[in-house]
């Protein structure tokens, strides 16, 4: 039974119950929004069905030849693989003639030929238009009149979505040589084929003695690179991109084991290990991150200060004093007669006088350089930030201690409920399915034929008119209400695309919000019922999922709709920004205004996300509607502004540590693993891919961790304010200054369970 079958008003809650609102005391929240979401998705499915009927995905899957015939389809539109590829024999000339349309490739008109497979370099392709000019009036006259009707392929072509695109090819060989020591010094046979004057010698990798003897290696070889004659910049860039994609695919296939191991398996293991260790080292780790940030800020301040020349005189005196000292040292060293007197004097002069002084002086320009004022302003700002940061740490040290204790309790909760770390991966899978749906629907909507759409609109408006005419009183004029003009097929097509896009954004936010609420519900079960075996569910995550699906889908729909509106406004603003890019180039005021508006919208979106996250926690805890939960969130912010800010600050530090340091470690591991185990010649690409995958995995872990921490904070404040902190863990109660006498009144119901209850 979902929220559509419940009353919107919850039953009266027993205020003496400290834990989450019981299911029998909850009611469906924001049911109208749930109905609206259902209605919107009915419209989404209708749009998808219309796109399936009228869309033409073959226009994306298969290209056209120069006569307008779709390759890969017979006369009745049935796919046939006989000639499913399209080859562009004069791509250079076509791109040069339409250079203004290169940025919008779907508007290009290219001379294409349908072929069974993409031709290789040197192959000849028959221009079938020469034999049937009555069917193919657009055939190239130059080729047909030559008597052959054949096109010579300049480069190898690659199949990209059934389009044969040119790809640069390289071939060559190389020889590994040793440069230092040379062949005479190494007493090796000199390499005389090339660069005989360099005295190289061949380096045999199977000879350990040669590898140990060689200090500097050099690789000598020849490289042949093929390119189409007269190729323009656009074609050259296209060929280079395809070559890069081909190399990337080869590297991925060669190093797939290292990518999966270091990009997926390793970050999962490290993620569990990180959260487990946070139970014991949260304090030292947080303080280390705080001190590291302070040192980075101080380093930047010192650098900008010296660059600004604020300490120029002091630095000059220091260098002068140092120069005098180095002179005395040089005189003393030159007085020592012996075999190394000159060398010592020279070393003393260079090391202590010239090199140090010149290098430091060059690194620290005076205030008179062009950027001196900029550095001066930056140094003053950084000094102010340093002072503010130190004062911030001094005044809010107690709140930092509370945040650390909350983090430790959060690690305990996740250790008790490990399935909370696995549930977000289910959400990720659902998001992938949603993205595939969005992509397929977008392709069909984008390939809607205007004529077919106009015909469908004409039939639709005709049915509305017939319905209006059948009404005796004419109470409803559906034709006027619809306001659809069949001639505006392109406008309707754009509207369908916008509708489809907004539905995708809303649904994605809906899934993410549901994941947050499920995790918050399971954590609240632990906080209040960890010592009560009768109330603590066997599977907290599943119990929370049931509660969310049964009662609070409407609230999730409401919150995700608000965020989707904000994100849609940001997308619209970015569209306007791109369209007005040229106008902004010549108008500083307009560019400044657009930047300010974009910044404000970004901040507004972050605020909506932040408030919504806490609101979902209150919904999971109290069973409130979205508006009531937002009100409770603002009350929490007003009552504990410092602690909320400190929690966010500490979470940001941990997020940076978890989502930057850990993926970097995985990428470095992948680099050496791919190099040593897979034998990859280019381990940078596998390590970069593993970096992206590891970041995604770590972001899932950090999201669960942050939700857990926020939920514990909300539960602790609620328990402290309403129940004297009776259910707050002992260590957390101590840092929150909860009276021990109030905690002694705790009355655990019925049986008790160990401190770490079953999952």
The answer, yes or no, to whether residue 555 has pLDDT greater than 90, is yes
Angle 489-529/397-416 helices, nearest 10 degrees?
A: 90
* Ordered DSSP codes for 305-339: HHHTTTTHHHHHHHHHHHHHHHHHHHHHHHHS-ST
User: What is the average pLDDT across 423-437?
Assistant: 91
What gap in Å lies between CA 357 and CA 377, rounded to an integer?
27
Residue 357: band (very low, low, confident or very high) from pLDDT cuts 50, 70, 90 = very low
Alpha helices in 677-759 (DSSP H): 684-723, 730-735, 740-743
User: Does residue 753 come out as left (phi exceeding 0), alpha (psi in the -120 to 50 range) or beta?
Assistant: beta
The confidence score (pLDDT) of residue 145 equals 58
The DSSP letter of residue 459 is H
User: What is the average pLDDT across 9-37?
Assistant: 70
Q: Show the CA angle centred on residue 374, arms to residues 382 and 586, nearest 5°.
A: 120
CB-count burial class (<10 Å; 0-12, 13-18, 19+) for 289: middle
User: What is the average pLDDT across 183-200?
Assistant: 85
What gap in Å lies between CA 308 and CA 297, rounded to an integer?
16
Residue 174: band (very low, low, confident or very high) from pLDDT cuts 50, 70, 90 = confident
User: What is the average pLDDT across 533-554?
Assistant: 89
Residue 199: band (very low, low, confident or very high) from pLDDT cuts 50, 70, 90 = confident
The answer, yes or no, to whether residue 323 has pLDDT greater than 70, is no
The confidence score (pLDDT) of residue 481 equals 44
Instruction: Write the CB contacts of 683 (distance below 8 Å, at least 6 apart in sequence).
Output: 255, 670, 671, 672, 674, 675
The confidence score (pLDDT) of residue 741 equals 57
What gap in Å lies between CA 621 and CA 525, rounded to an integer?
9
482 with 459: CB under 8 angstroms? no
Chain segment 397-414, per-residue pLDDT in tens: 889 989 999 998 988 898
User: What is the average pLDDT across 139-160?
Assistant: 70
User: With pLDDT > 70 as the criterion, what percentage of the chain qualifies?
Assistant: 72
β-strands 216-226, 201-202: how paired?
unpaired
Which tokens is 298 given? 């101080």
The confidence score (pLDDT) of residue 601 equals 94
Q: Which of 175-179, 225-229, 481-485, 684-688 has the lowest mean pLDDT?
A: 481-485
The DSSP bridge partners found for residue 223 are 172
Residue 672: band (very low, low, confident or very high) from pLDDT cuts 50, 70, 90 = confident
The answer, yes or no, to whether residue 599 has pLDDT greater than 60, is yes
Q: In Å, how far are 175, 251, 684 from 679, measured between CA atoms?
A: 19, 10, 12
What gap in Å lies between CA 26 and CA 548, rounded to an integer?
11
The answer, yes or no, to whether residue 379 has pLDDT greater than 80, is yes
The answer, yes or no, to whether residue 330 has pLDDT greater than 80, is no
Instruction: Write the CB contacts of 106 (distance below 8 Å, at least 6 apart in sequence).
Output: none
The 3-state DSSP class for residue 163 equals: strand
The confidence score (pLDDT) of residue 322 equals 54
User: What is the average pLDDT across 136-162?
Assistant: 70
User: With pLDDT > 90 as the criterion, what percentage of the chain qualifies?
Assistant: 23
Helix, strand, coil % in the chain, rounded to nearest 5: 65, 5, 25
Which tokens is 514 given? 């549901």
The confidence score (pLDDT) of residue 626 equals 92
The confidence score (pLDDT) of residue 139 equals 58
Only one residue has tokens 């797939």, namely 256
What gap in Å lies between CA 399 and CA 646, rounded to an integer?
6
The confidence score (pLDDT) of residue 478 equals 47
The confidence score (pLDDT) of residue 518 equals 94
Which tokens is 748 given? 């655990």
Phi, psi of 727 (to 5 degrees): -110, 5
Helix H or strand E encompassing 452: helix 450-470
The alpha carbon of residue 292 and the mean position of all alpha carbons in its chain are separated, in whole angstroms, by: 26
The answer, yes or no, to whether residue 471 has pLDDT greater than 80, is no
Peptide bond into 181 cis (omega under 30): yes
The answer, yes or no, to whether residue 366 has pLDDT greater than 60, is no
CA atoms within 13 A on the CB side of 123: 14
User: What is the average pLDDT across 723-748?
Assistant: 73
What gap in Å lies between CA 241 and CA 224, rounded to an integer?
19
The DSSP letter of residue 190 is B
What gap in Å lies between CA 125 and CA 87, rounded to an integer?
9
Neighbours of 298 (CB within 10 A): 15
The answer, yes or no, to whether residue 360 has pLDDT greater than 70, is no
Which tokens is 71 given? 């390759």
The DSSP letter of residue 8 is S
User: What is the average pLDDT across 628-638?
Assistant: 92
What gap in Å lies between CA 204 and CA 178, rounded to an integer?
10
User: What is the average pLDDT across 506-516?
Assistant: 94
Chain segment 273-308, per-residue pLDDT in tens: 888 888 888 889 889 989 999 999 998 888 888 877
What gap in Å lies between CA 489 and CA 478, rounded to an integer?
19
Chain segment 98-119, per-residue pLDDT in tens: 777 666 666 778 888 888 888 8
672 with 369: CB under 8 angstroms? no
Phi, psi of 400 (to 5 degrees): -65, -40
Helix H or strand E encompassing 192: none
Q: Which of 229-243, 369-383, 485-499 has the lowest mean pLDDT?
A: 229-243
Mean pLDDT of the chain: 78
Helix then strand count (H, E) for the chain reads 28, 9
The 3-state DSSP class for residue 343 equals: helix
| Total number of residues shown for the chain | 759
Residue 749: band (very low, low, confident or very high) from pLDDT cuts 50, 70, 90 = very low
The confidence score (pLDDT) of residue 748 equals 45
What gap in Å lies between CA 57 and CA 655, rounded to an integer?
42
């Amino acid at each position: 039974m979902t929220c559509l079958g419940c009353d919107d008003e919850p039953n009266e809650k027993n205020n003496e119950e400290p834990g989450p609102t019981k299911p029998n005391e909850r009611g469906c929240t924001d049911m109208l929004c749930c109905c609206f979401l259902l209605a919107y998705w009915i419209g989404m499915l209708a749009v998808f069905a219309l796109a399936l009927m009228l869309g033409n995905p073959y226009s994306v899957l298969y290209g056209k030849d120069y006569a307008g015939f779709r390759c890969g389809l017979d006369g009745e539109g049935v796919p046939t693989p006989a000639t499913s590829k399209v080859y562009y024999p004069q791509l250079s000339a076509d791109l040069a003639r339409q250079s203004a349309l290169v940025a919008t490739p779907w508007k290009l008109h290219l001379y294409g030929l349908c072929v069974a497979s993409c031709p290789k370099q040197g192959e000849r392709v028959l221009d079938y238009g020469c034999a049937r000019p009555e069917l193919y009036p657009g055939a190239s006259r130059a080729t047909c009149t030559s008597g052959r009707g054949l096109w010579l392929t300049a480069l190898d072509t690659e199949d990209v979505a059934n389009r044969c695109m040119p790809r640069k090819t390289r071939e060559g060989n190389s020889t590994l040589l040793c440069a230092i020591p040379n062949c005479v010094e190494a007493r090796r046979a000199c390499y005389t084929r090339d660069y005989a004057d360099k005295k190289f010698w061949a380096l045999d990798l199977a000879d350990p003695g040669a590898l140990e003897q060689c200090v500097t290696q050099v690789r000598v070889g020849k490289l042949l690179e093929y390119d189409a004659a007269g190729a323009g910049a656009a074609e050259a860039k296209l060929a280079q991109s395809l070559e890069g994609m081909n190399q990337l695919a080869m590297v991925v296939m060669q190093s797939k084991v290292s990518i999966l191991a270091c990009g997926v398996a390793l970050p999962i293991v490290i993620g569990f290990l990180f959260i487990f260790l946070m139970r014991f080292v949260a304090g030292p780790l947080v303080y280390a991150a705080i001190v590291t940030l302070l040192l980075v800020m101080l380093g930047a301040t010192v650098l900008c200060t010296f660059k600004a020349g604020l300490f120029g005189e002091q630095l000059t005196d220091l260098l002068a004093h140092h120069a005098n000292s180095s002179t005395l040292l040089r005189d003393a060293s030159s007085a020592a007669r012996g075999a190394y007197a000159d060398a010592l004097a020279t070393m003393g002069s260079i090391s202590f006088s010239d090199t140090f002084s010149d290098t430091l002086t060059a690194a620290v320009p005076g205030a008179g350089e062009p950027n001196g004022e900029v550095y001066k302003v930056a140094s003053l700002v950084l000094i102010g930030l340093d002072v503010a940061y130190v004062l911030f740490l001094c005044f809010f040290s107690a709140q930092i201690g509370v945040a650390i204790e909350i983090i430790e309790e959060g690690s305990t909760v996740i250790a008790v409920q490990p399935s909370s770390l696995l549930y977000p991966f289910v959400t990720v899978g659902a998001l992938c399915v949603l993205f595939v749906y969005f992509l397929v629907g977008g392709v069909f909507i984008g390939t809607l034929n205007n004529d077919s759409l106009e015909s469908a609109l004409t039939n639709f408006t005709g049915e509305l008119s017939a319905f209006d005419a059948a009404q005796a009183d004419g109470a409803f004029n559906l034709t006027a209400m619809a306001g659809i003009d069949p001639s505006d097929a392109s406008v309707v097509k754009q509207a369908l695309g916008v509708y489809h896009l907004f539905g995708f954004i809303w649904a994605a936010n809906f899934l993410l919000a549901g994941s947050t609420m499920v995790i918050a519900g399971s954590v609240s079960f632990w906080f209040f019922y960890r010592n009560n075996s009768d109330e603590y569910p066997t599977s907290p995550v599943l119990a929370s999922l049931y509660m969310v699906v049964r009662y609070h889908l409407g609230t999730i729909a409401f919150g995700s709709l608000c965020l989707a509106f904000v994100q849609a406004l940001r997308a619209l603003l970015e569209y306007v920004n791109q369209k007005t890019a040229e106008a902004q180039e010549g108008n500083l005021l307009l560019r400044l205004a657009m930047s300010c508006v974009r910044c404000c919208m970004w901040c507004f979106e972050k605020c909506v996300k932040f408030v919504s996250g806490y609101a979902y926690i209150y919904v999971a805890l109290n069973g409130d509607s979205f508006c009531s939960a937002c009100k409770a969130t603002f009350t929490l912010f007003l009552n504990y502004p410092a602690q909320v800010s400190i929690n966010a600050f500490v979470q940001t530090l941990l997020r940076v540590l978890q989502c930057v340091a850990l993926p970097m470690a995985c990428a470095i591991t992948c680099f050496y693993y791919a190099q040593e185990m897979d034998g990859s010649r280019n381990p940078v690409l596998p390590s970069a891919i593993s970096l992206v995958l590891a970041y995604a995995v770590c972001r899932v872990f950090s999201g669960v961790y942050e939700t857990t921490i926020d939920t514990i904070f909300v539960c602790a404040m609620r328990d402290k304010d309403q129940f004297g902190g009776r259910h707050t863990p002992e260590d957390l109660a101590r840092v929150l200054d909860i009276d021990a006498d109030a905690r002694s009144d705790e009355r655990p119901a019925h049986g008790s369970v160990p401190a770490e209850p079953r999952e």
